[in-house]
Structure 1
Amino acid sequence: MMSESGVRIDKYLWAVRLFKTRSIAAEACKKGKVMISGMPVKSSRLIKVGDEIDIRIPPIVRRFKVLDVAEKRMGAKLTPDFVRDITPPDQIELLELSKLASNANRARGLGRPTKKDRRDLERLQEGEWDF
């Protein structure tokens, strides 16, 4: 725990488990997906308590408030003491809708055939199909 000074944003995002690895967090910064005050930040940017971090995860932008800074990775149960998710409800709703839409848009027949499909095909090929 380092309350007095700042911490690199890539290290912080990894420590509070917003990214699986520090290199993935650094890559997100490099690609402009991590922003503070609407401006993309470099992975070396120091953050401090009170900063609000926006992370663009298509199709939405997640927003987090820094409650305390940390350099070392912590257990998932400890993260609420260091970061708070302040993503607007409309963004969360948009994410839920996009998940539902992606499941509903899978057209029947795409992917591998089911066992029933395979049996029907075999019956059709063997001439046992009832019209």
Structure 2
Amino acid sequence: MTSVRIDKWLWAVRLYKTRSLAAHACNAGKVKRSSASVKAAAKVQIGDHLDVPTHEGLYKRHIEVTGLYDKRVSAPLAQEAYVDHTSKDVLEEAKIKRSEKRANRILRKEGDQGRMTKKQMRDWKKGLQSYKREREEP
């Protein structure tokens, strides 16, 4: 095998969860080969350098193709199919962004989340009624 469709290869080496997600990223112009966008039907060959965004969209990986697969393979084989040349600064920045997102998610889960649920509304109304009773009694 000398070449494979790029969307198939991205899916086969587990850079995207589904082939349709890989094709969508290619057709949207997010996957680049030597700083030029490639379509999903473009052929990838050994030695090509690709810029592929992560599924989170936090950063772009700069990878070199070292193996060709057209069927999905296990994770250890998939990692041998490319060499990741992404700089350490970009990876550190992505790690920081990921931890900030996680902290924000935890904060939203614990804190005020906007509109009250039915249970919160009932409890709030019960609290108001007890306040009214206290004021009327004296």
TM-score in same-fold range (> 0.5): yes
TM-score (normalised: structure 2): 0.73
RMSD: 2.9
Number of the residue aligned with 1:91: 90
Where 1:49 maps in the other structure, the secondary structure is coil
**Aligned residue among 32, 35, 53 for 1:35:** 32
Tell me how far 1:122 sits from its aligned partner: 9.0
Larger fraction in helix = 2
Number of the residue aligned with 1:77: 76
Tell me how far 1:126 sits from its aligned partner: 7.2
Runs of 4+ in 1 over 2 A off after TM superposition: 56-59, 103-113, 120-128
2:62 maps to amino acid: R
TM-score (normalised: structure 1): 0.77
Where 2:70 maps in the other structure, the secondary structure is coil
Q: Matches of residues 10-21 of structure 1 in structure 2 within 5 Å? A: 10-21=7-18
Number of the residue aligned with 1:110: 113
- Gaps of at least 5 residues in structure 1 are none
Where 2:100 maps in the other structure, the secondary structure is helix
Q: Distance in 1 between matches of 2:103 and 2:12?
A: 36
- Gaps of at least 5 residues in structure 2 are 132-138
- Tell which structure's C-alpha radius of gyration is larger: 2
Question: For residues 103 and 21 of structure 1, do their structure 2 counterparts lie closer, same or farther at Cα, with a shift above 3 Å needed?
Answer: closer
**Identity across the alignment (%):** 37
Number of the residue aligned with 2:63: 64
Q: Distance in 2 between matches of 1:84 and 1:112?
A: 47
